[in-house]
A and B are shown apart, each in its own frame.
Chain A
Amino acid sequence: GAGVSQTPSNKVTEKGKYVELRCDPISGHTALYWYRQSLGQGPEFLIYFQGTGAADDSGLPNDRFFAVRPEGSVSTLKIQRTERGDSAVYLCASSPSRDTQYFGPGTRLTVL
């Protein structure tokens, strides 16, 4: 069956610009997670949705980062006024339960 998909696969932007990253979870998975993976690091938790609501957004680094999941399926991670330090692979995962998470391939964001 279809796994988690993320678009775009690569995004290059200039410092100060706004970007949106999209995640399509596995159908029927109620939980959705965003992570950020910098070079040489493991995935770092950003935000977790249960249905439409953000159950835990404690990992968002600052108020330039925001995520939505308006209909409880597709989610969009939004980054305002991008900085070079935002460059990373942004991973999305979905889960049918409270344990195993299934990851998408990620979006590689490069801020010039």
Chain B
Amino acid sequence: DQQVKQNSPSLSVQEGRISILNCDYTNSMFDYFLWYKKYPAEGPTFLISISSIKDKNEDGRFTVFLNKSAKHLSLHIVPSQPGDSAVYFCAASALSRDDKIIFGKGTRLHILP
């Protein structure tokens, strides 16, 4: 049973436009959410996170939005750049309970020239 769901296996976005990657979760115990970026043959790299007490966190071109009532979060990248082409994993943790991070299956983002 997938507790973290990324329903779009892939997404193509024009360079310079906004990329929006979506993620849904089912476990209401999750209180910390993360996005990781992964290039081929490399491990996932931490991108941005958000605590459940917030609804938005911004870091440069990356913004994560959290909608707790809908159990939904999204990652916005603006403007999208060629180097953003990668697989993006949404992940969640229940820090109040343990330190496990549960990952989604990932969304492959293609930035088109």
Contacts and interface: CB of A to CB of B under 8 A. Distances in A.
Contacts, number: 62
Interface stretch (B36-44, B52-60, B65-73, B74-82): B36-44
A93 B102 contact: no
B95 A43 contact: no
* B interface bracket (residues with beta carbon within 8 Å of A): 20 to 34
Given A91-B44, A100-B46, A41 B101 contact: no
A56 B49 CA distance: 23
A100 B101 CA distance: 10
A63 interface: no
Contacts of A99: 32, 34, 49, 93, 95
Q: Which 6 A-B pairs have the closest CB atoms?
A: A103-B43, A42-B103, A43-B103, A103-B44, A45-B100, A42-B105
Interface of B: 4, 6, 32, 34, 36, 41-46, 49, 89, 91, 93, 95, 98-106
